[in-house]
Chain A
C-alpha cells in the first residue's frame, strides 16, 4: 500500500505507514483499537496500516511508526524489538506492559525464576527471563499508559503524532479527575485507592465505576506515597493491601522498595 494524499482542515497530511507488534501480553491494548467501533473508520483514515497481525494477513517491514504492546520476557523478543527499533522512526510503547512490564513483572518479585518456572511447568524446561519494559532494551519515543489503554487517549496521541503537534500528559493525579467527576471518595466507600498518587489521563476510569485505583498508569509528578500510606492506615488498610496495588503494574519502581522497607520498620 502506498501513502495517499489526505487532508485535515484543508491541510494536506501524509498518511504515515504504521505497524503494530505485540510481545508478552494479553493483546488487549490492540483489541481496544478494534473496540473503537464508532470512530474506527475515521481513525484508520489517518493511517496506512501495514502490519496488524491480529486483524490482517498482509505484512511489511516498511513502516514509520511502530506501536508495540507487551513486555519483554525472552531473548528472541529482545532481538525482534531491536529490529523494530531500527526500522521505525517513532517507537510507541502501547500500554502498561510495554511501559513498565505490567502484571507480567509481578513474577520478578520472587527473585527466583527457577521457582516461578517450577510452579507452572514442573521439571519441564521452559525459557523465560525477568519481565522488562521496552525502554530497558531500546530507546522509546512515546509511552501510552494504562491497563488497558484508554482508546480516546490513543486517538488523541496518534492524531497529534500524525499532525506533528506536541504530545503531553497530565502531571496531576487521578484524584483530580475523580473529583471533577463528582465521585464519592473511594476511601469513604471503604476501599483502598491509589488515585492520590497515580498519573491522570484515564478520567478516573476505575474510581468512577467504584473500584479503587490500582495505579496502572504509574506515578503522578512528585507522588506523596508516605502521606497516602498514612491515609491507608487511617482507613484500616494494611501495607500489604497498599503494596498489592503499588507493585501491580511496575510503574512505581522505587516507591515499592521504599514501602517494603518502611513496612519492616
Chain B
C-alpha cells in the first residue's frame, strides 16, 4: 500500500463506507448496528472511549451503547438539548456526566430532520479531529441514522411484544385458575394450587396470609409476628405495597422490623366487597429482583381470586355444618318432647300444671308426673348438663331409670343414690344432672322429696310466706354416692303451692345481660297468692317474657306447679 499513498486513501475509505453500510443496513439488531458504528469510528479516530445516546423524550437521552466507559454509565439518562450543529464541544457546563466520563465531543445523529441521538467520543488534545475525519464521521453517522432508527423501533416492538406475551400469560393463568378454583371446595387443595401458581408465576415460595378474623394461614413462613400488628397492617395495606414503600413513620417502625426479619418484601390486600379482609405477605423472589407494578397487579388479582374462592368454600362448609347442626337439634328436640308427659294425671284435691319451652339449642330439661300404684304421685324435674342431642339422650336415660324405679317403692334417698350411681358409671364426669323429685300422697297431703343439687323449689304458703325445698345431696353423675341423700318432708295445707323450676327460669337473660334471678322469682311468686296452679305457672312465664323482652331464649324453661285445694 505504501507505494501509492495518495490514491489508496480515498479508495480504502470508500471501501470502508461500503462495508459499513452493508453491515449496518442488513441488521435489525440495534446492538450490532451500534457496535459496528462505535468500533468503526473508534478505529478511525484512535479514540478509546465512545458512546451512543438516543433520544427518549423531551430533553432526555439515554446512553444505549458505549465502549471504554464503566458499565454503570450504560442505560443512564442524561439531559441534553437537541442541537443540529455539525459537532458540539462538551465541557463541564454543557453536560457534566458526559464530561466526567471523558466524552468531550458530540456528533448529532439526524434522521428525517430530527436529532434522534448523539455519537459522543473522547477527542484527544494531542490528536484533534480534522476536517476530513469530521466529514467521514458525518457520512458514517448519516448512513447509520436510518438503520439506528429502524433498529430502535424494532427493539421497541420486541419489548412491547414481550410484555404483551407476559400479560397474555398472566391472563391465561387467571382464567385457568378462575375456572379451577370454582370447582374446588377443600381449602387445602385451594391453598396448594394457589401456592404452586404463586411460585411458578411469581417465583416466590415464601408467603403468609394474614386474616383479619379467625386464624391466619401460614405457608413456609414461621412465627406469629403479624398477630400483634393486625390493626396496623390492615389500615396500612389498602392496595398492593412494597415493604420498602411503607411510610417512614414511627408507628410503622416495629412492623417494618418484623417484615424485614421475615424477609417479607411485598404486601397485597385481600378484599371482599371492597373491604380488606386479609393481607398476603410475600417473601423474596427466588430468581431475585423487586416486584414490578405489573407483578403486584397480577398477584393482587390472583390472590383475590383465591381468597374469594377460599371464602366461598368456607361459607359453603359452614352452611353444611349449620344444616347438620339444625338436623341434629331437630332430633334432640324430638327426643326431648317425646319424653315429656303429654298430659298430666289428675290428682285428687290437687291442681297440677307443667310446662317446657325448649330453647333453639335444646337444653335437656325434664319434668315428669308419674302415678305410683300405692296411690302416691312421683313429681320430678331435672336439668341435664350440655345441650343438643347428647343432653337429650342423657335425659332419656334418666327418664327411663326413674320410670323403672317407681314400681319398686324404694325410699327416695335410696332410689336417688341408685340413679346417681347408674349415671356416674355410664357417663363421663363432665356430664351431670341437677334433679329434684318428690312423692306426693294426696291423702295425707305429705310431700317427701330429695333435692340433688337442683334449684330449690319454692313453697308458697296460703298465708303468703315462702319456703324452699333444699334437703337432699349432691348433683347426679359427678361421683359415686358416698354420703346418703337426705329426704325432706312437708305437709301441704289447702291453698299451699309448690313451684318447681329449672335454671332457664332464674337465669333467663334480658338484652342487657342481666339474669332474672331467684330473688325476682320469689318476689313475683309471693304476689301470686290465691291464684290457681295454672295461673301461677302462666304468670311466671309471662313475667319472664316481659323481663327478657326480645332477648333470645338461651336455655330451656321448665316448670311444674302444684297446689293443694
Bind each other: no
